[in-house]
Structure 1
Amino acid sequence: MAVNGSALSETLLSREELDRVVSTAQAALGKRQQKDGHWVYELEADATIPSEYVLLEHYLDRIDDPLQQKIAAYLRRTQSEDHGGWALYHNGKFDLSASVKAYFALKATGEDINAPHMRRAREAILDHGGAERSNVFCRCQLALFGEVPWHATPVMPIELMLLPRKAFFSVWNMSYWSRTVIAPLLVLAALKPKAINPRGIHVQELFVTKPDAVKDWIRGPYRSAWGRMFKGLDTVLRPLIPLIPAKTHQKAIKATIDFIEPRLNGEDGLGAIYPAMANVVMMYRALGVPDTDPRAVTAWKAVQKLLVIKEDEAYCQPCVSPIWDTGLSGHAMLEAASGPQGIAPEETLAELRKASAWLREKQILTVKGDWAINKPDLAPGGWAFQYGNDHYPDVDDTAVVGMLLHREGDPANAEALERARQWIIGMQSTNGGWGAFDIDNDKEILNHIPFSDHGALLDPPTADVTARCISFLKQLGHVEDQPVIDRAIAYLRAEQEEDGSWFGRWGTNYIYGTWSVLCAFNVAGVSHDDPSVVRAVEWLRSVQREDGGWGEGCETYEGAAHGVYSESLPSQTAWAALGLMAAGRRDDPAVGKAMTWLASQQDEHGEWHEDPYNAVGFPKVFYLRYHGYKQFFPLMALARYRNLESSNSRRVAFGF
Structure 2
Amino acid sequence: MARQQADGHIVFELEADATIPAEYIFLNHFLDDLEPELEAEMAAYLRSIQSDVHGGWPLFHDGDFNISASVKAYYALKIVGDDISADHMVRARKAILDYGGAEKSNVFTRYALALFGQVPWRAVPAMPVELMLMPRWFPVNIWKFSYWSRTVIGPLLILASQRPLAKNPRGVHCPEIFKTPVEEIKVWNVNPTGTRWGDFFIALDKLLQPLEKHILPRLPFRKRAIRRALEFINPRLNGLEGLGAIFPAMANATMAFNVLGYDREHPDYKIALASVRKLVVDTADKRKGKPQYCQPCVSPIWDTSLSAHALLEAGVERTDERVIAACDWLAKEQILDVKGDWSVNVPDLRPGGWAFQYKNDYYPDVDDTAVVGMLLHRVDSKKYAQNIARAAEWIEGMQSTNGGWGSFDIDNDAEFLNSIPFADHGALLDPPTVDVAARCISFLAQVGYEKDHPTIKRGIAYLKSEQEEDGSWFGRWGTNYIYGT
| Conserved 8 A contact 1:154-1:451 | yes
Query: Of residues 45, 67, 71 in structure 2, which corresponds to 1:100?
Result: 71
Q: How does 1:96-495 map to 2 (within 5 A)?
A: 96-220=67-191, 222-241=193-212, 242-244=214-216, 245-311=218-284, 312=289, 313-337=291-315, 344=317, 346=319, 348=320, 350-409=321-380, 411-479=382-450, 482-495=453-466
SS at match of 1:292: coil
What residue identity is the alignment partner of 1:115?
A: A
Summarize the Cα distance change of 1:372–1:55 in structure 2 as closer, same or farther, 3 Å threshold.
same
Cα distance between partner residues in 2 of 1:329 and 1:457: 31
Summarize the Cα distance change of 1:128–1:491 in structure 2 as closer, same or farther, 3 Å threshold.
same
- 1:386-406 Cα offsets, whole Å, 9 max, x none, are 001000001100000001011
What residue identity is the alignment partner of 2:80?
A: T
| Conserved 8 A contact 1:353-1:410 | no
Cα distance between partner residues in 2 of 1:364 and 1:127: 49
> What is the aligned-residue RMSD (CA, Å)?
1.4
Cα distance between partner residues in 2 of 1:434 and 1:120: 43
Q: How much has 1:375 moved relative to structure 2? A: 0.3
TM-score, scaled relative to structure 2 = 0.96
Question: Which stretch shifts more, 51-60 or 310-319?
Answer: 310-319
What residue identity is the alignment partner of 2:307?
A: S
Q: How does 1:556-575 map to 2 (within 5 A)?
A: none
Q: Which position in structure 2 is the counterpart of 1:70?
A: 41
SS at match of 1:505: coil
- 1:6-25 Cα offsets, whole Å, 9 max, x none, are xxxxxxxxxxxxxxxxxxxx
- 1:207-236 Cα offsets, whole Å, 9 max, x none, are 122222211111345442321221111112
| Conserved 8 A contact 1:436-1:459 | yes
Summarize the Cα distance change of 1:362–1:221 in structure 2 as closer, same or farther, 3 Å threshold.
closer
Cα distance between partner residues in 2 of 1:93 and 1:199: 32
What residue identity is the alignment partner of 2:150?
A: R
SS at match of 2:314: helix
- 1:406-450 Cα offsets, whole Å, 9 max, x none, are 111163311111111110010000011100000000010100100
| Conserved 8 A contact 2:450-2:456 | no
What residue identity is the alignment partner of 1:355?
A: A
Cα distance between partner residues in 2 of 1:151 and 1:71: 31
Q: How does 1:594-605 map to 2 (within 5 A)?
A: none
TM-score, scaled relative to structure 1 = 0.71
What residue identity is the alignment partner of 1:407?
A: R
Cα distance between partner residues in 2 of 1:265 and 1:420: 22
Query: Of residues 14, 17, 26 in structure 2, which corresponds to 1:46?
Result: 17
Summarize the Cα distance change of 1:240–1:59 in structure 2 as closer, same or farther, 3 Å threshold.
closer
Summarize the Cα distance change of 1:481–1:386 in structure 2 as closer, same or farther, 3 Å threshold.
farther
SS at match of 1:86: coil
Cα distance between partner residues in 2 of 1:159 and 1:465: 34
Cα distance between partner residues in 2 of 1:314 and 1:150: 33
Summarize the Cα distance change of 1:306–1:177 in structure 2 as closer, same or farther, 3 Å threshold.
same
- 1:472-498 Cα offsets, whole Å, 9 max, x none, are 111111459811111101111111111
- 1:114-173 Cα offsets, whole Å, 9 max, x none, are 111111111221121111221100000001111111111001110000001111101101
Cα distance between partner residues in 2 of 1:222 and 1:109: 36
Identity across the alignment (%): 60
What residue identity is the alignment partner of 2:258?
A: R
Q: Which position in structure 2 is the counterpart of 1:617?
A: none
Q: Which position in structure 2 is the counterpart of 1:529?
A: none
Structure 2 portions without partners, runs of 5+:
none
What number of residue pairs does the alignment pair up? 478
Q: How much has 1:499 moved relative to structure 2? A: 1.0
Cα distance between partner residues in 1 of 2:452 and 2:16: 38
Summarize the Cα distance change of 1:112–1:369 in structure 2 as closer, same or farther, 3 Å threshold.
same
Structure 1 portions without partners, runs of 5+:
1-29, 339-343, 515-656
